[in-house]
Amino acid sequence: MRCIILLLAAFAAMMSHAAALRPAPTIEGESANAAIQATLDKNNAVHLPKRAGPYVLDGPIILKSGQKLTADADTVIQLKPGTNTCMVRNEHIVGFADKPVPADTQPDTDIQIEGGIWTTFGEGNTRGHSSKQAHVHGTHGVILLQNVRRVTVRNITVRRSKAFAVHLANARDFTVDGVTLDEHGRDGVHVNGPASDGLIRNVSGISHDDTVALNAWEWKNYAPSFGAIHHIVIEDVRGAPDGIPSANSIRLLPGVKRFSDGTMLDCPIHDITIRRITDIRDFKLYDQPNLELGRDNDFSAGVGTLKNLRFDNLIFHRPGSIQVHANTNGLVVSDVKLGFPPRDDFRLIELGPKSATYKHKPNDPATWVEIFSPDLNCTVRNVAVTGVRIRDAQTDLHIDQIVRVIEQKPNPDYPKTTPKGGTGKAIWVR
């Protein structure tokens, strides 16, 4: 397929009948969608060169199988305020919010997106819906790829947006290589199940939610589908520098989905490699009910399952941890550099349920809720840890200096003191 470059003059001509170049549209100006779609329909490819003003979108650019959209690295593409859709998506978005994904969903294939600075500037646009009307439930991307095979996203910047930067679901054979998060408000790369055979690499910047998230089970207001996530590599991810507010986290969320008719779907996460990671503070491998809709209205039917996870070459310039509250078989952690002074209370790996209190109204304990699932046990097997060192130490830390096993207890002084605690614990089979 030959990539057709959309030159400035050609672009302007397609937007009007005027022969002369017109000024780039301002945010109140006309939409670039029609011109871009016309070029894609004709040539199966479009390139957006940098120009004085942004390319303004009033809805998503829709990519069909085999199509390619590229932009110069510093080309600005901006969503018109109030549009509240994604900016780019594939053609056949198919949601399965209330049943398992069937074997054949006629996915879109061989789609490529590369380059550009994509922004909503935080103006509404909190969800990134797949369309203006009759959107597929649970779609939330600036770039949305759902029901796809063999898709690639490379070298993009997502700036000041409130939807997930890149949202994938029901995806196989995908690559996301090069995502810069610029004061981003939600997850960077967010993957919902089912998903497999993916590479996520070179993700960095400032994000106020998870930098990367693999959510097999998910809060139902954020997922177009549910299912297993497996055989994924996450590598070369960097958190924000010290002193800059950013979530600096990677999440793996397994669980068991209970659909409205009572049907159960196991949503495990397995065969995941996470390597060459710098300054990610929290690796969140724990159960977490949905507080937005009410934890009693949306929760996993039991803790999820993790299997064959490998963490390799991690660098922490400030304390961080791998927090596991799932039934886990196979957790390998190797080559970890801890670049901060030794602390007696620090443990790199925490096994077991968490407890924390969300104070909706700080002075009204009746409104307080538990954030996590402190009453659920988990069993962890086959943990292997090597090469964890403090600064320039010549010897590895002992396993007892690395792993903490959590056993929750009810807090008798709650709500005078928090959290409430619970009865759950981790069972570490050594």
Contact 254, 268 (CB under 8 A): yes
Average pLDDT for residues 153-164, to the nearest whole number?
95
d(CA 282, CA 322): 6
Q: For the purposes of burial, counting CB atoms within 10 Å of the CB of 334, is it exposed (0-12), middle (13-18) or buried (19 or more)?
A: middle
Q: Is the pLDDT of residue 11 over 70?
A: no
Q: Is the pLDDT of residue 268 over 80?
A: yes
The pLDDT value recorded for residue 306 is: 98
Contact 217, 237 (CB under 8 A): no
Return the beta strands (E) in 227-304 as ranges. Answer: 229-238, 249-253, 255-258, 264-267, 269-278, 282-286
Taking only the tens place, the pLDDT of each residue in 238-265 is 999 888 889 999 999 999 999 999 999 9
The pLDDT value recorded for residue 33 is: 96
Report domain 54-429's class. mainly beta
Taking only the tens place, the pLDDT of each residue in 86-117 is 999 999 999 999 999 998 899 999 999 999 99
More confident residue, 1 or 387: 387
Coil vs helix vs strand at 43:
helix
Nearest to 402 by CA among 390, 420, 413, 412: 390
Contact 252, 307 (CB under 8 A): no
Contact 216, 254 (CB under 8 A): yes
Identify the DSSP state of 33: H
Taking only the tens place, the pLDDT of each residue in 293-309 is 999 999 999 999 999 99
Q: Partners of 56 in the beta sheet?
A: 78
CA atoms within 13 A on the CB side of 323: 20
pTM: 0.92
d(CA 325, CA 379): 9
Contact 146, 90 (CB under 8 A): yes
The pLDDT value recorded for residue 2 is: 32
The pLDDT value recorded for residue 180 is: 98
User: Residue 33 phi/psi, 5° resolution?
Assistant: -55, -45
- Token readout for 254 is 């397994």
Contact 353, 372 (CB under 8 A): yes
CB atoms within 10 A of CB 242: 10
Residue 39 is inside which H or E element, if any?
A: helix 33-43
Residue 13 is inside which H or E element, if any?
A: helix 8-15
The pLDDT value recorded for residue 25 is: 37
Taking only the tens place, the pLDDT of each residue in 327-366 is 999 999 999 999 988 888 899 999 999 999 999 999 999 9
User: Kindly report the CA angle at 109 between 189 and 252, in degrees rounded to 5?
Assistant: 25
Q: Where does 295-418 have alpha helices with state H? A: none
Taking only the tens place, the pLDDT of each residue in 371-396 is 999 999 999 999 999 999 998 888 99
Q: Which amino acid is at 383?
A: V
Domain boundaries, the chain: 54-429
Identify the DSSP state of 136: P
Mean pLDDT of the chain: 91
Contact 184, 142 (CB under 8 A): no
Rg of the chain over Cα atoms, rounded to whole angstroms, equals 23
Contact 44, 67 (CB under 8 A): yes
The pLDDT value recorded for residue 122 is: 66
- Token readout for 241 is 């520098």
User: Kindly report the CA angle at 91 between 86 and 216, in degrees rounded to 5?
Assistant: 65
Q: What is the number of residues in the chain?
A: 430
Residue 205 is inside which H or E element, if any?
A: strand 189-207
| Alpha-carbon dihedral angle through residues 275, 277, 77, 52, given to the nearest 10 degrees | -120
- Token readout for 83 is 């549009």
d(CA 395, CA 387): 8
